[in-house]
A = this chain, B = another copy of it.
Amino acid sequence: MTVRERYIVGVDLGGTNIVVGAMPEDGSSELAMRSLPTRGEEGPAAVVDRIVGMVEDVIAEVMADTGAAREDFLGVGIGSPGPLDRERGVVIVSPNLGWKDFPLRDEIGSRVKMLATLDNDANCATLGEWWCGAAKGHRNVVGMTIGTGIGGGLIIEGQLYHGSSDAAGEIGHTTIDSNGRLCKCGNYGCVEAYASGTAIAIRAREALVDGEGSTLLALAGGDPANITAQTVYEAAKQNDPIAIEVVRETARILGTAISTLINIINPDIVVIAGGVTQAGDLLFEPLRSEVRRRAFKTAVDACEIVPGMLPISAGVVGAVATFKAQTLGKV
């Protein structure tokens, strides 16, 4: 008699998109992956409806494709923006979604009639890269996801590290300049205030003031307001000097923050994920030089700095992994 394969569904709830998929328990493949806009403005009930529908669609597709039965699904791992109370499965506050003390885990678990777990989205992304992506086999991992903000996660001695109140790994809020730009978190000079996707676009607009004939401006249809981080990476690839300097400055800024992280955590790998990785070597080469200039040699020598390998699915893979960690005690 063969042992039946068992499956876990992963949900990656973001401010912009919801990504849902399934994996066999051993993480060997990604199944029935799909994405829909979050549309948080419709309120939590509509978002939960959307997630539940996607979970049911994923289960149906996996059942049809593999011959699995409903009872072969162990449950649903959910990754959500924080701060969270993992034990109670509650989203304490989500400014992007406008939620407060929302029991997301049980709302979904009770609807799909399966065990559900909740963890921070940036923690899930880091765990996903560690389980199946760029950080596979590493012991101490700093994960950094650069999107609207900069999220982070830490794996310490092979375990996702949550800290004393589920708040660890907020590496977007590493100070690089104590009197610097105001950050959304209320602090001054956080790396997020300079190097998030949003901040990269702002710095590009500021730089444009002196560069009217720029490709950057052309790519934005002549209107600086249309410049996004994406526009900057594209213009840089087309050798636009302003865009190239914005990317290089981003590398120096990220390199400064990562130097602090390397001096403190001494990880064996730093994984950088999110849109910024599209800038490729133009970003990673000066970033690694900056780290080598700033951080301790014995720590730098022990550490790779690499782009993530799961640009779409890290959050889903990590949500599946956190489900395993929370229900089975290990990934």
Contact = CB atoms under 8 A, between A and B. Distances in A.
A163 interface: yes
B187 A259 contact: yes
A264 B164 contact: no
Given A164-B140, A299-B163, A261 B259 contact: no
A175 B173 contact: no
A265 B168 contact: yes
B266 A175 contact: no
A294 interface: yes
A185 interface: yes
A122 to B, nearest CB: 12
A108 to B, nearest CB: 23
A167 interface: yes
A92 B301 CA distance: 15
A157 B164 CA distance: 9
Given A295-B187, A298-B83, A301-B165, A264 B175 contact: no
A260 interface: yes
A154 to B, nearest CB: 8
B299 A167 contact: yes
Interface in A151-176: 152, 154, 156-157, 159, 161-171, 173-176
Q: Give the size range of A's interface with the partner.
A: 35 or more
Nearest to A170: B263
Interface of A: 83, 92, 139-140, 152, 154, 156-157, 159, 161-171, 173-179, 185-188, 253, 256-257, 259-261, 263-268, 293-296, 298-299, 301-303
Q: Which of A169, A267, A296, A303 has the most CB of B within 10 A?
A: A296
A188 B92 CA distance: 38
B261 A302 contact: no
16 contacts: A163-B267, A164-B266, A165-B298, A165-B299, A166-B266, A167-B299, A168-B264, A169-B264, A170-B263, A171-B263, A174-B264, A176-B178, A177-B178, A187-B259, A187-B294, A188-B294
Contacts of A185: 296
Given A187-B294, A261-B264, A302 B164 contact: yes
Contacts of A83: 296, 298
A329 to B, nearest CB: 14
Contacts of A295: 173, 187
A173 B263 CA distance: 6
Nearest to A179: B177
A22 B128 CA distance: 47
B299 A259 contact: no
A259 B176 CA distance: 12
Contacts of A169: 264, 266
A196 B156 CA distance: 29
A170 B299 contact: yes
B264 A171 contact: yes
A265 B266 CA distance: 13
A51 to B, nearest CB: 25
